[in-house]
Amino acid sequence: MSEPLLSVDGLAKHFAVHRGVLFQNKIGSVRAVDGLSFEVAEGETLALVGESGCGKSTTGRMILRLMEASAGSIRFAGKDVRSLDRRALRDLRRDIQIIFQDPYASLNPRLTVGETLAEPLRLHGLASGPKLRQRIDSLLAEVGLSPWHALRYPHEFSGGQRQRIGIARALASEPKLIVCDEPVSALDVSIQAQVINLLQDLKEKRGLSYIFIAHDLAVVRHISDRVAVMYLGKIVELSPKRQLFAMPRHPYTQALLSAVPVPDPSAQRARIRLTGDIPSPLNPPSGCRFHTRCAYAKDRCKVEEPALRPIGQEGEKVACHFAETIVPPTLVPENEPPYAARLAALRKFRPATA
């Protein structure tokens, strides 16, 4: 097998918490990200999903070194990202770009769109003089905007248009990997579909790889190749998209998928309701971090942390001691007890698409 484009191993980010006079006394650390390991191949889209505060955006920022990691390794195209000096880091950021969540806050209001797109082109020496304007016009056309939009300021555009400008800015340096940090969560549903289709077209045209951070499972199912489900700073399930949506292995993934509405009035599917609140990342539970809300938790789960281990035949990985024996009871009819019938029902299960 060829070497992955991006390889992350044991990545962690802990934020120190201080109290007292001038905040000099450290009382603990918030474990925002705590030991992530995953890979992204060339031309692949890996989705990171999970509840707010689970560490998705922090992971994306650490990959670009917009935020320094506390531990772990990040390798991109064979290079150790964490050891790069300032000059080498600038070269790296030509190959890795980010699309931010908020299209209203991510653009400089004092620069025109043309000036915004010209900045990375000049910085990396990709265009100058007459060719600069040609590149700007080409970038705008690629994201569905007109050349004369280059003369306007960000406040003159709608949210969807601003996000297209953000995509054009990310494309300007001709990257290999783009971190999409919830790029459609602030947009209307109809505009979301346009932006998602644009990202897919650009991926096929340019051979891009994506790390797609999102809450919306319908969007994730539409765009991703593999999905990593995060809970309280850790990956609890990592699986190809088709396998994850057909037969979720981890109880937390099952609960997430049960919340996706199905556009069929005759469908009988009960909601898996998680009890209790999400534990604080300042003092996470011992053992499995999900055991305080899991209906299948046993004594072993309280003391022994499950490793993210392979399961099945299609490259699935799950961090659960009892993944082989758990079948989501609310996704199958109660009058079909045999496991084969349950498995057939699971394979027919599909969440709704937007």
Give the domain ranges of the chain.
39-70+84-224, 248-348
For residue 59, pLDDT over 70 is answered with yes
Confidence of residue 187 (pLDDT cuts 50, 70, 90): confident
Q: What is the pLDDT of residue 338?
A: 41
Confidence of residue 222 (pLDDT cuts 50, 70, 90): confident
**Residue closest to 232 by CA, chosen among 11, 52, 38, 10:** 52
Angle at 204 between CA 199 and CA 206, to 5 degrees: 90
Which residues share a beta bridge with 212? 47, 180
For residue 353, pLDDT over 70 is answered with no
**Residue closest to 37 by CA, chosen among 81, 71, 68:** 71
- Six-digit token string for 209: 């790889």
Confidence of residue 19 (pLDDT cuts 50, 70, 90): confident
For residue 334, pLDDT over 60 is answered with no
Q: Are the C-beta atoms of residues 173 and 126 closer than 8 Å to each other?
A: yes
Those residues with Cβ within 8 angstroms of residue 328's Cβ, 6 or more apart along the chain or in another chain: 248, 254, 258, 272, 346
Q: Tell me the percentage of the chain whose pLDDT exceeds 70.
A: 89
pTM of the predicted model, to two decimals?
0.87
pLDDT in tens, 125-170: 998 888 999 999 999 999 999 999 999 999 999 999 999 999 999 9
Angle at 197 between CA 96 and CA 54, to 5 degrees: 55
Q: What is the pLDDT of residue 183?
A: 92
Q: In what order do the strands lie in the sheet with 6-19?
A: 25-40, 6-19, 71-76, 79-80
Q: What is the pLDDT of residue 262?
A: 67
pLDDT in tens, 231-264: 999 999 999 998 898 888 999 999 888 877 766 6
For the chain, the first-to-last Cα distance in angstroms comes to 35
For 297-313, what is the mean pLDDT? 92
For 287-292, what is the mean pLDDT? 94
Those residues with Cβ within 8 angstroms of residue 232's Cβ, 6 or more apart along the chain or in another chain: 31, 34, 54, 55, 278, 279, 281, 284, 289, 290
Query: Which sign does the torsion angle of CA 84, 90, 92, 97 carry?
Result: positive
Angle at 128 between CA 122 and CA 134, to 5 degrees: 110
For 332-352, what is the mean pLDDT? 43
Q: What is the pLDDT of residue 269?
A: 62
In this structure, CATH architecture of domain 39-70+84-224: 3-Layer(aba) Sandwich (3.40)
For residue 51, pLDDT over 80 is answered with yes
Question: What does pLDDT average to over the chain?
Answer: 87
Q: Are the C-beta atoms of residues 59 and 140 closer than 8 Å to each other?
A: no
